[in-house]
């Protein structure tokens, strides 16, 4: 359909040429942004492959914005999606928007958002929520504060005008999330080592995640079971199948540093973990979104420059908090990052929802300070 007032054509992605233009948009948007880290192009394309497990319980529609002034080149993109698992969990007809990228032109953004919302209305949705790329297990959130540094691995990034466009188009804040910065040149408070000692005396066993062969597969299954139990009530989150989880874990297998990924066990059962990853965005920035043979060589070369890490999650089953498992995991994870020979100078813990007060209290007690804020928006349809 053509929206004359905006001088832009919004087209549903149907052909391979459309798909290529969809994937091209970020390069146009971030061409002059020194903080942007290009996503792996093939990983983005994989999300729209018919083999994506999401399509077993959801549906989606990609859109691109074409500008007559740029020889009908794509100047924006968006995806509207229906995640049936989320609808069943929240008992509301919630549709999702995600994969949003747009040049600094509100008329283009407005046209993209309206077409996505209209598609959601046609599917019977009454609320739109985003940005969420199909599920919160994928990329989600808009950065609203903290644009002065690049994102860490697997964290979102966007121009400062995206939140302004959302506000102008009538979207409102659904929930904020924070990223915490940890300088590693300051020791943890003594309570964390004390908590670790108490946990050990209580019968908790701590060890690094195993990353080889059958032991890795066994740990992945334990992690999946723990994720499913511990995060079942997370806002706007839906459970992954075991196959989805294992596939994602295999993609990270060679990237894990076991010294910053301790797990806690009690009577042979995994009851907690501290999930840290080196900041692979540092070498990925040099790859320019392509992991061909040259990209792999660049990745291997520049990974030597990694000097920071991201803590993705600190998890403990509630009944083991009394045994000081969270404090023990934080102590071991941080100690693993600063041991001799490790390159890490700082760490980020991200992301944590604003109303997750127990986690925030623990993070802030360990010295973490908020330095980036992210937001998910909603709009009535």
Instruction: For 327-356, give the DSSP string.
Output: HHHHHHHHHHHHSTT---SEEEEEEEETT-
Q: Are residues 194 and 334 in the same domain?
A: yes
Looking at the structure, tell me whether residues 208 and 151 fall in a common domain. Answer: no
Residue 53 lies in a domain: yes
**Would you state the pLDDT for residue 72?**
67
CATH no. for residue 209? 3.40.630
Residue 372 within a domain: no
* 354 domain-assigned: no
Pairing of strands 94-102, 127-130: parallel
Does any domain span residue 323? yes
Domain count, the chain: 2
First-last CA distance in the chain: 20
Instruction: Give yes or no: residues 155 and 31 share one domain.
Output: yes
Question: Is 162 contained in some domain?
Answer: yes
Alpha helix positions (H), 202-254: 213-230, 242-252
Instruction: Report DSSP letters for 41-98, one per residue.
Output: HHHHHHTTSTT-GGGGTEEEEEEEEEEGGGTTEEEEEEEEEEEHHHHHHHTS-EEEEE
**Whether 121 and 261 share a structural domain:** no
Same domain for 12 and 157, yes or no, is yes
Residues 330 and 267 in one domain: yes
* pLDDT value at residue 24: 95
Compute mean pLDDT per 10 residues along the chain, 381 residues long, and list them: 60 95 96 94 93 92 87 89 94 97 96 98 97 91 96 96 97 97 88 95 96 93 89 80 85 90 95 94 89 85 91 91 93 92 92 93 92 98 96
User: What percent of the chain has a predicted confidence (pLDDT) above 90?
Assistant: 75
In this structure, the answer to whether residues 21 and 93 fall within a common structural domain is yes
* pLDDT at residue 5, rounded to an integer: 47
pLDDT one-digit tens code per residue, 55-89? 999 999 999 999 876 666 899 999 999 999 999 99
156/194 same-domain check: no
- The answer on 274 and 199 residing in a single domain is yes
We report the CATH number of the domain holding residue 73 as: 3.40.630.30
- Residue that terminates a domain, selected from 175, 206, 236: 175
Find, among 68, 66, 69, 85, the residue nearest to 77 by Cα.
66
Distance CA 316, CA 78 (A): 36
* pLDDT tens profile 85-125: 999 999 999 999 999 999 999 999 999 999 999 999 999 99
Domain annotation covers residue 121: yes
In a domain, 111, yes or no: yes
Give the C-alpha separation, 20 to 84, whole Å.
28
Please give the residue range of the domain that contains residue 27: 2-175
User: How much is the pLDDT for 176?
Assistant: 97
Whether residues 198 and 154 fall in one domain: no
CB neighbours of residue 16 within 10 Å: 8
Q: Which pLDDT does position 71 carry in this prediction?
A: 61
């Amino acid at each position: 359909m053509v929206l004359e007032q905006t001088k832009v054509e919004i087209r549903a992605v149907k052909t391979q040429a459309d798909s290529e233009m969809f994937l091209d948009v970020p390069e146009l948007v971030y061409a002059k942004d020194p903080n942007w880290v290009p996503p792996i192009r093939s990983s983005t394309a994989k999300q729209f492959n018919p083999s994506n497990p999401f399509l077993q319980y959801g549906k989606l529609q990609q859109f691109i914005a074409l500008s007559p002034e740029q020889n009908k080149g794509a100047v924006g993109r968006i995806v509207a999606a229906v995640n049936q698992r989320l609808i069943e969990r929240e008992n509301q007809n919630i549709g999702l928007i995600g994969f949003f990228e747009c040049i600094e032109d509100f008329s283009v953004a407005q046209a993209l958002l309206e077409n996505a919302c209209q598609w959601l209305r046609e599917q019977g949705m009454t609320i739109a929520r985003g940005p969420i790329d199909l599920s919160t297990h994928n990329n989600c959130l808009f950065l609203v504060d903290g644009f002065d540094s690049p994102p860490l691995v697997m964290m979102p990034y966007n121009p400062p005008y995206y939140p302004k466009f959302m506000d102008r188009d009538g979207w409102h804040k659904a929930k904020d999330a924070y990223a915490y910065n940890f300088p590693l040149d300051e020791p943890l408070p003594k309570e964390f080592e004390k908590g670790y000692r108490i946990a050990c005396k209580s019968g908790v066993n701590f060890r690094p995640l195993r990353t080889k062969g059958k032991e890795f597969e066994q740990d992945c299954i334990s992690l999946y079971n723990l994720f499913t139990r511990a995060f079942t009530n997370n806002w706007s989150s839906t459970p992954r199948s075991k196959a989805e989880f294992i596939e994602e874990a295999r993609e990270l297998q060679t990237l894990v540093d076991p010294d910053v990924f301790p797990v806690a066990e009690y009577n042979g059962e995994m009851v907690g973990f501290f999930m840290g990853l080196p900041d692979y965005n540092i070498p990925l920035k040099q790859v320019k979104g392509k992991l061909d043979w040259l990209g792999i060589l660049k990745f291997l070369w520049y990974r030597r420059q990694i000097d920071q890490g991201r803590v993705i999650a600190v998890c403990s089953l509630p009944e083991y908090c009394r045994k000081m498992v969270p404090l023990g995991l934080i102590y071991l994870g941080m100690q693993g990052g600063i041991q001799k020979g490790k390159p890490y100078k700082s760490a980020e813990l991200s992301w944590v929802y604003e109303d997750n007060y127990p986690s925030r209290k623990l993070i802030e007690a360990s010295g973490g300070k908020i330095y980036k804020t992210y937001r998910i928006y909603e709009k009535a349809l």
